[in-house]
Amino acid sequence: MIIEFIKWLCSFGGVSGKSAIFLLVSINVLLLMSGCSTVGEVSEISTSYGQSLYRYEMHEGPTLIMEVGLADEMDDWGEVLTELSSISGIFTYNRAGFRGSYSINSVRDAKTIVTELNELLIAAKVKPPFILVGHSLGGAYMELYAKTFPENIAGVLLIDPNDARYPAACKALELDHCEPPGSMPWWAELIYPRAVAGEIKAWSHSLEQVRRSTTFPPVPLAVLSAGNDKRRGDVNAIKRQELTQHLHRQLSELSSVSKHEVCMECGHYVHRDNPQLVVEAVRWILTSAGNL
C-alpha cells in the first residue's frame, strides 16, 4: 500500500521522481526500525513451487497465519507479534520474490499466492485449524484462502483489507482513484523486487478472483478499519475512506458471528497504530470459536 499511496501523490504532481525515491527509502527505513520485533526462529523450506522463508512458533490452540500487505515482509508486523505470541501460535512468512523466498510461478495473483501458501503450510507441518490474519491486499488473499480451504479455518481477522467490491462501488459514487494501479513507476522498480510489480499487475485480477469465490466458512470474522485519513483537505479521500468503512462493515457480514470496528486514531497500518486492538480482536475470535 506504500506504493499505491505514493503513486496517488504522483498523480497530483506532488512528488517528483527523485523525491519519490527519497520518500520510499525514508518510509522503508522507518518501517524497518519500527518492525524489528520478531517471533520464532527463521527457517527455510522448499516446496514444489520454490523456496520460502518463514517463522513458526507453536502454541496450544489454532495458529495465526499472518499475511502482510503489498510490498511488506514478515518483520513488518512489528511489536504486535510479541503480544500475539502469548495467546496463540504464529506463522509468518515472506511471499515469493521477497527476502529468502522465490517461486517458479511468474504470475502473482491471489489464487497463485493462496495455493503456494497452502503448500507451504503443509511442508512446514503447520496443522489446522488456522486463524487467518490479513492486512491490506493480504486481507484479500486471506479472504480467498478462507473460501478456498474452509475446512482449515477457525477464524479470520482482516486489518483494513482491500475489499474486492471497492472499484465498482467507488465508480458508482463517481469518486477518483477507484481502480488499483496496474504497474509500478520506474523509481519504485529500482527499490522493490519484481514480485511487487507482479502483484500490482495482477491486483485487479486478484480482486476479481475474490469476488467470484462466494462461500465463506461459518467461523468468527473480525474486520478492523482505519479511521484517520490524514488528507482531511481532500473531500474525495474522505469519501473513499467512508466508502471503505461501509464495505468493511458489509464484508464482516459474510459470517453470522462477526464484528467490525473503526479505529479513529489509526491509519492504514492499524496493527502499528493500535496493536492492542488487533490482540483484542484475536482474543474475541478465539473466545467465539470456543478456544480460549
pLDDT at residue number 38: 63
- CA-nearest of 49, 59, 67 to 122 is 49
Angle (deg, nearest 10), helices 203-212 and 194-201: 50
Q: What is the pLDDT of residues 248-292, one digit of tens each?
A: 999 999 999 999 999 999 999 999 999 999 999 999 999 999 855
Q: Once rounded to an integer, what is the mean pLDDT over residues 240-246?
A: 95
User: How many alpha carbons fall within 13 Å on the CB side of residue 246?
Assistant: 11
CA gap 178, 30 in Å, rounded: 28
- Give the confidence band of 193 by pLDDT, cuts at 50, 70, 90: confident
- Where does 246-287 show beta strands of DSSP type E? 258-263
Q: Please determine, for residue 37, whether its predicted confidence score (pLDDT) is greater than 70.
A: no
pLDDT, greater one: 3 or 145:
145
C-alpha cell at 254: 459474510
Residues 84 and 283: beta-carbon distance below 8 Å: no
* Lowest-confidence pick of 109-113, 139-143, 158-162, 239-243: 239-243
Global confidence as pTM? 0.87
Among the listed ranges 19-28, 76-85, 141-150, 193-202, which one has the minimum average pLDDT value?
19-28
Mean pLDDT of the 113-139 span? 98
DSSP secondary structure string for all residues of 140-175? HHHHHHHHHSGGGEEEEEEESPPPTTHHHHHHHTT-
- Asked which of 3-7, 79-83, 154-158 is least confident by mean pLDDT, the reply is 3-7
Q: Report which DSSP code applies to 14.
A: -
**Is residue 20's pLDDT more than 50?**
no
pLDDT above 50: residue 137: yes
**CA gap 65, 89 in Å, rounded:** 9
Fold for the domain defined by 2-288:
Rossmann fold (3.40.50)
When mean pLDDT is compared across 151-160, 182-191, 215-224, 272-281, the lowest value belongs to 182-191
The length of the chain in residues reads 292
Domain boundaries of the chain, sorted by first residue: 2-288
First-to-last C-alpha distance (Å) of the chain: 33
Judge contact between 203 and 180, C-beta under 8 A: yes
CA-nearest of 151, 292, 146, 272 to 221 is: 146
Q: Which three cell numbers stand for residue 37?
A: 520485533
Query: What's the mean pLDDT when you consider all of the chain?
Result: 87
pLDDT, greater one: 69 or 291: 69
Return contacts of 121-124, CB within 8 angstroms, 24+ apart.
Answer: 121/65, 121/91, 123/45, 123/46, 123/47, 124/43, 124/45, 124/54, 124/56, 124/91
Using pLDDT thresholds of 50, 70 and 90, give the confidence band for residue 49: very high
CA 32 remoteness from chain centre: 17
Strand pairing partners for 46? 51
- The torsion angles phi and psi of 261, rounded to 5 degrees, stand at -135, 135
Which whole number is the average pLDDT over 19-44?
54
Q: What is the C-alpha separation between 164 and 205, in angstroms, rounded?
A: 10
8 Å CB contact between 93 and 63: no
pLDDT at 32 (0 to 100): 42
Q: How many whole angstroms separate alpha carbon 203 and alpha carbon 78?
A: 25
Please state, in angstroms and rounded to a whole number, the distance separating the CA atoms of residues 28 and 42: 21
Percent of the chain with pLDDT over 90: 74
Question: From CA 258, how far away is CA 35, in angstroms rounded?
Answer: 29
Instruction: Please give the Cα distance from 9 to 236 (Å, whole number).
Output: 14
Across the range 11-24, mean pLDDT stands at 36
- pLDDT of 27: 45
50-68: pLDDT as tens digits: 999 999 999 999 999 999 9
pLDDT attached to residue 232? 64
Q: Is the pLDDT of residue 8 over 90?
A: no
Identify the pLDDT of residue 41.
87
